[in-house]
Amino acid sequence: MSRRWLNHSFSLLHVDHVRLNHKWNYTNVISPYYRIYYIDEGEGFILSSKETIKLEAGYLYIIPSFTLCNLKCSATLSQYFLHLFEESPDGISLFSNNRTLMQVQANDIDIANFKRILQINPGRGINRSDNPKVYEKNVYYKEYQELNNMQRDAVYLETQGIILQLLSRFLDSEKFKQKNAASIPSKILEAISYIQLNLDKDLTVVNLAKRANQNLDYFSRLFLQYTGERPHAYVQEKRIERAQYIITTTNKSYSEIAEETGFESLPHFSRIFKKVTSLTPGQYRQQNHSFSMFQ
């Protein structure tokens, strides 16, 4: 394994095996954590703006963090699921260029890994109470962080090993390889890292180009070529991703979140948030609250 992958750590949030029905029907889902599914029976659908993927028995699926999609089951769907938070020192996601839905055929090891991670992490599902007060986010996520801290060393290491094995199945897929065919120039990587770690700072394109010691137009074109977005749009997207994470995991006010993510005012923050996610900050908080009640 290349040393660069060791910079990425993944924190277990949920793992469970569930049988879903028509109630599993959510639109505009965009969460700050990864979802990995193994389907063992039935069918469902993941729909994004670019594609529709059918959830079929015998396959693994991944929805990277901050990937906008719809989830749907018309009849019944039996699935193992794994939810993960990701952290990296430079703020760059392992899937930074691959915020897309992926499918790979499951093998015997994958199935055994899902069953094993569920066995050694009991009680880590979502449907632990019918009382909505249980799902207040600052309490809800702290509870799972504490459960991770309480794991025996052997269980923690085995859990991390299984998580990395399951993630590796998608890194080896053709879809992932195609998206990573072109290596990103160091100047652009440095700019991406700086943006991620300084979202509350003045991240104008002029300042970013100066930091890269490049002509403004050239820097902007190069950034677009390797990220698919202009620098300004990219900064706004990453600020909103950070805001989504804070909304999901804390009870901070929207004014506090706007300031922490570098927006000049609450109205500006709310406007950009809705532009990126199609939801207001309040609607996003409520949707994540409601989604967690089922899966």
Contact assessment for residue 223 and residue 230, using Cβ atoms and an 8 Å cutoff: yes
Single out the residue of 68, 100, 75 nearest to residue 25, CA to CA: 75
C-alpha distances (whole Å) from 134 to each of 129, 147, 191, 211, 288 are 7, 16, 40, 46, 13
Instruction: Give the H/E segment covering residue 186.
Output: helix 186-197
CATH 1.10.10.60 domain extents, the chain: 186-287
User: Tokens 């949030």 map to which residue?
Assistant: 13
The class level of CATH for 3-180 reads mainly beta
Contact assessment for residue 219 and residue 6, using Cβ atoms and an 8 Å cutoff: no
Q: What is 186-287's CATH superfamily?
A: Homeodomain-like (1.10.10.60)
What pLDDT was estimated at residue 151? 86
Task: List the pLDDT tens digit at each of the 295 positions of the chain.
Answer: 445 556 678 889 899 999 999 989 988 787 888 999 999 999 999 988 778 999 999 999 999 888 888 899 999 999 999 999 887 766 677 777 677 889 999 999 999 999 999 999 998 887 544 333 343 344 556 677 788 888 899 999 999 999 999 999 998 777 666 555 456 788 888 898 889 888 999 999 999 999 999 999 999 999 998 888 899 999 999 999 889 888 877 889 999 999 999 999 999 999 999 998 888 999 988 877 655 545 5
Tokens of 44: 């469902």
Rounded distance between C-alpha atoms, residue 225 and residue 275, angstroms: 23
Bridge-based pairing of strands 52-56 and 34-47 is antiparallel
What pLDDT was estimated at residue 68? 80
Single out the residue of 281, 262, 283, 285 nearest to residue 273, CA to CA: 281
**Would you list the DSSP string of 120-163?**
HSTT-SS-S-S-GGGG-HHHHHHHHHHHHHHS-HHHHHHHHHHH
What pLDDT was estimated at residue 181? 45
CATH 2.60.120.10 domain extents, the chain: 3-180
- pTM (two decimals): 0.74
